[in-house]
Amino acid sequence: MKLKFHSLLIAIIISTSLQAQKSSEAKVRHFHDTIGFAKHSWQMDSIISRIGDSDKVQNQEVYKAVINPHDDYKYAAGLYAKTLSGIKANTVVLVGVAHRARNFDLQDKIIFGSFNSWEAPYGNVKVSAIREEILKNLKTVTYVVHDSMMQLEHSLEAIVPFLQHQNKEVQIIPLLVTYMKFEDMQRFSKELSKTLSEIMKDKKMQYGKDLAVVISNDAIHFGSEDWGGSDLAPFGTDEEGNEKAHQKDLRIIAETLKGKLEDDKIKTFNNYTVKPENYKEYNWTWCGRYSVPLGLLFANELNKITQNKNLHGEMLDYRSSLKNEHLQVEDLGMGTTAPSKPTHWVAYVGMAYQ
């Protein structure tokens, strides 16, 4: 009788273990925004076909890192295609915005998820096993694993379909950057780049060819309406005021994101976008006020370790939902998650780093 019970107990344990393993293997991060972004392969195919020819030119360059928008495809799809065309690597570190970090009281840490794959138009995209190797080697004070935050965040979900469209074998390492002081960004980026460089060396991976970095960001959010009661139009929303906002964006890009990357330039970007007296408050409303500086510090440090030189940045284009032509998406069952008008618009920049 004891033997039978023992055998039954072992069978139950094995069955439970297999079920848990199967559940873990099937842990998928599902779509969150099915309005602004493509959910189905036929939607994505249609989006690509409607993008202007100049944004679909075959790119022979190999980018190590880029800054890419994450707004609705109707407004920004062409710039996604143009910017991401230089990402040739099969493994991509995605550095995203944590828009709802306040909801979960998250701050001062890098956010990872525990999902094994992400739902995408052409089938699930695998999360690279390198993520687990990274987490094993990072200090516990550096990061938190928070699936609820990762599930609700759209800034990386926007980018995955374009990466998948051009490379069905792509694997991702998603992370989000929440409220963070610049000194912490420097410390975390050094730790992350050192950890990843050692993994890359062990796996004989080349920066750019085998692994690349994509930083998610939308530039200025401008206007006096539909911003939750906030007035984000310090120059006014007439033609002159809106143009001043565009020109300030271009000045920030020229001063801080173009040319040879240096910590001082990245800190200047941080000073432009975050209030010096309170690092949790906007100074100039780029939602990438944390993802951009940490992402660039990390990408640049990784290049210094692996190539012994700094990255060099080039602006591919600067656009906005106010100025640029919009794609027709309504017949695809898609739309917009926010209006585009003189009193409410968003700008986008595509930056490439080699």
Spell out the SS3 assignment of the chain: CHHHHHHHHHHHHHHHHHHHHHHHHCCEECCCCCCCCCCCHHHHHHHHHHCCHHHHCCCCCCCCEEEECCCCHHHHHHHHHHHHCCCCCCEEEEEEECCCHHHHCCCCCEEECCCCEECCCCCCEEECCHHHHHHHHCCCCCEEECHHHHHHCCCCCCCHHHHHHHCCCCEEEEEEECCCCHHHHHHHHHHHHHHHHHHHHHHCCCECCCEEEEEECCCEEEECCCCCCCCECCCCCCHHHHHHHHHHHHHHHHHHCCEECCHHHHHHHHHHHEECCEEEEECCCECCCCHHHHHHHHHHHHHHHHHCCCCEEEEEEEEECCCCCCCCCHHHCCCCCCCCECCEEEEEEEEEEC
| Segments making up each domain of the chain, as ranges | 31-353
Q: Which amino acid is at 140?
A: T
Sign of the Cα torsion 103, 107, 111, 114 reads: negative
What's the whole-number average pLDDT of the chain?
A: 93
Q: Which amino acid is at 238?
A: D
Nearest-angstrom CA–CA distance, 231 and 244: 16
pLDDT for residue 58: 87
Q: Residue 168 pLDDT more than 50? A: yes
For residues 4 and 351, what is the distance between their CA atoms, to the nearest angstrom?
66
pTM: 0.92
194 has pLDDT over 60 = yes
> With 90 as the cut, is the pLDDT of residue 2 above it?
no
22 HSE (CA, 13 A, CB side): 6
The pLDDT value recorded for residue 26 is 74
User: What region does 315 belong to: left with phi over 0, alpha with psi -120 to 50, or beta?
Assistant: beta
Do 235 and 245 contact (CB within 8 A), yes or no? yes
Q: What is the mean pLDDT of residues 195-221?
A: 98
Please give the share of the chain, as a percent, with pLDDT higher than 70: 93
- Cα–Cα distance between 292 and 143 in angstroms, integer? 17
Beta strands 211-216 and 65-68: pairing type? parallel
Tens of pLDDT, residues 113-134 = 999 999 999 999 999 999 999 9
- Torsion, Cα of 94, 95, 101, 105 (10° steps): 100
Q: State mean pLDDT over 170-188.
A: 97
How far is residue 329's CA from residue 316's CA, in Å, rounded to a whole number? 24
Query: What pLDDT was estimated at residue 17?
Result: 43
| Rounded Cα gap, residues 122 and 46, in angstroms | 13
Comparing CA positions, the residue from 120, 173, 117, 110 lying closest to residue 141 is 110
Q: Is the pLDDT of residue 338 over 60?
A: yes
> What is the tens place of the pLDDT at every residue in 21-79?
444 457 999 999 999 999 999 999 999 999 999 999 889 999 999 999 999 999 999 99
pLDDT at site 117: 98
The domain 31-353 having CATH identifier 3.40.830.10: the answer here is yes
For range 76-95, the mean pLDDT: 98
Q: What is the pLDDT of residues 269-321, one digit of tens each?
A: 999 999 999 999 999 999 999 999 999 999 999 999 999 999 999 999 999 99
Residue entry with tokens 């992400």 = 118
